[in-house]
Amino acid sequence: MRGPHNIWRLIRTGATFERTGAMGVALDAVDAPGNVRVAARVLGWPFRWLGYKGDPSLPPVTRAITALGPAYIKFGQILSTRPDVVGVELADQLSYLQDKLPPFPTDQAKAMIEADLGLPLDQMFSEFSEPVAAASIAQVHRARRADTGQEVAVKVLRPNIGTAFSRDIDAFHFGADMIEAISPATRRLRPRDVVSHFEGVVNGELDLRLEAASASLFAENTKDDARFQVPKPHWELTSRRVLTSDWAEGISLGDVAAIRAAGHDTSALAERILQLFLSHALRDGFFHGDMHQGNLKVAPNGDLIAYDFGIMGEIDEYTRRVYAEILMGFIRRDYDALARVHFEAGYVPRDRDPAAFARALRAVGEPIFGADATRISMANLLGYLFEVTERFGMQTRTELILLQRTMVVVEGVARSLDPNLNIWNAARPVVEDYIKANLGPRAMVRDSKQILMTLQRAMPLMPRLIDDALWRARQQADAPQRQSLRKFSWRSAAIGAGTTALLSVVLVLLA
Given strand 296-298, what is the order of strands in its sheet? 228-229, 304-306, 296-298, 251-252
User: What's 35's DSSP letter?
Assistant: H
Apex 50 CA angle, 48 and 53, nearest 5: 80
d(CA 133, CA 76) in angstroms, rounded, equals: 19
Cβ atoms within 10 A of the Cβ of 332, count? 14
Spell out a b/e string for 49-88, using b for 16 or more CB atoms within 10 Å of the CB, else e: eebbebeeebbbbbbbbbbbebbbbbbbbbbbbbbbbbbb
Residue 43's nearest CA partner among 4, 5, 11, 8 is: 11
Backbone angles phi, psi at 96, to 5 degrees: -105, 15
In the set 168, 290, 308, 418, the catalytic residue is 290
Estimate the crossing angle of helix 60-68 against helix 22-29, to 10 degrees.
110
Amino acid found at 494 = A
Asked whether the beta carbons of 140 and 133 are under 8 A apart, the reply is yes
d(CA 14, CA 509) in angstroms, rounded, equals: 66
Helices then strands (H, E): number in the chain? 23, 10
d(CA 92, CA 417) in angstroms, rounded, equals: 17
Burial of 154 (0-12, 13-18, 19+ CB in 10 A): buried
d(CA 89, CA 82) in angstroms, rounded, equals: 11
DSSP track, 193-232? HHHHHHHHHHHHHT-HHHHHHHHHHHHHHTTTSTTEE-PP
DSSP track, 86-143? H-HHHHHHHHT-----PPPPHHHHHHHHHHHH-S-HHHHEEEEEEEEEE-SSEEEEEE
Please indicate whether residue 290 is annotated as part of the active site: yes
Residue 148's nearest CA partner among 129, 127, 119, 120 is: 127
Apex 104 CA angle, 103 and 106, nearest 5: 105
Catalytic residues: 290
